[in-house]
Amino acid sequence: MTECCIAGPLALEIVWQDGLVASLHLAWAEGRERRVATASGAALEAALSRFVAGEAPDWPHLPLRWQGLSPFARRVLEELTRVPYGQKVSYGWLAARAGNPKAARAVGRIMAHNPFPMLVPCHRVVGANGALVGFGPGLEMKTYLLACEGAA
C-alpha cells in the first residue's frame, strides 16, 4: 500500500510492506495527489506541515523496514537521526560517528540510497567545506529543506 502526504510544496510518499515503512519518496508536490489512508500517514503529514512552516516537525515514530541494509549503513542512518533539527554535518563527521572515519565516500553512497528521507534527515549532510552536494531530489530541494530548518 502507498500513501502520499502533501504539505506546502512537498510530497512524501509512504510505501508500506507487511505493516512496516519500506521506503519514503520525497518530491515536489506539483502534479501529485494526496492519498492519506492511515493514522500513521496523517501523523506524518502533520509533521511535514510543521516542517514546511519552519517548526520542529516532531516526526512520528513509524515502524521502519531496515532489512537489506548493511550493518554500517544502518549505523550511519541511525546516527543521522541524532543530528538535531537545524544543524548540518559533513559526510566525514557522520562516517566517524558511525565508527569508520575514513568512510566519507561510503556515507555519500548511503545517503544517496537513504530509504527514509525526512525521518532520516540526509538533507542535513553537506560537504566538508559546507557545500551543498549530492541529494537525490536535487540541490534546489536540499536548499529548501535546510531553509525550512533555518540552516541554509
Statement to judge: residues 100 and 39 lie in one domain: no
In a domain, 59, yes or no: no
The predicted pLDDT at position 134 comes to 80
Q: At 139, which helix (H) or strand (E)?
A: helix 139-148
Statement to judge: residues 124 and 79 lie in one domain: yes
Statement to judge: residues 130 and 77 lie in one domain: yes
Statement to judge: residues 45 and 81 lie in one domain: no
Beta carbons of 137 and 114 less than 8 angstroms apart: no
Q: Please give the average per-residue pLDDT across 4-22, as a whole number.
A: 97
Confidence of residue 10 (pLDDT cuts 50, 70, 90): very high
Answer whether residue 95 shows pLDDT above 80: yes
Residue-range definition of the domain harbouring residue 13: 2-52
Confidence of residue 135 (pLDDT cuts 50, 70, 90): confident
Mean of the per-residue pLDDT values of the chain: 94
The predicted pLDDT at position 130 comes to 83
Catalytic residues: 122
In a domain, 139, yes or no: yes
Residue 91 maps to which CATH number? 1.10.10.10
Statement to judge: residues 85 and 129 lie in one domain: yes
More confident residue, 136 or 112: 112
Number of domains in the chain: 2
Q: Please give the average per-residue pLDDT across 60-70, as a whole number.
A: 94
Statement to judge: residues 136 and 84 lie in one domain: yes
Statement to judge: residues 40 and 90 lie in one domain: no
Statement to judge: residues 37 and 75 lie in one domain: no
In a domain, 64, yes or no: no
Each residue's pLDDT tens digit, 97-130: 999 999 999 999 999 999 999 999 999 999 888 8
The predicted pLDDT at position 138 comes to 82
In a domain, 101, yes or no: yes
Each residue's pLDDT tens digit, 74-87: 999 999 999 999 99
The predicted pLDDT at position 25 comes to 96
Statement to judge: residues 142 and 77 lie in one domain: yes
| Grid coordinates of 96 | 566517524
In a domain, 90, yes or no: yes
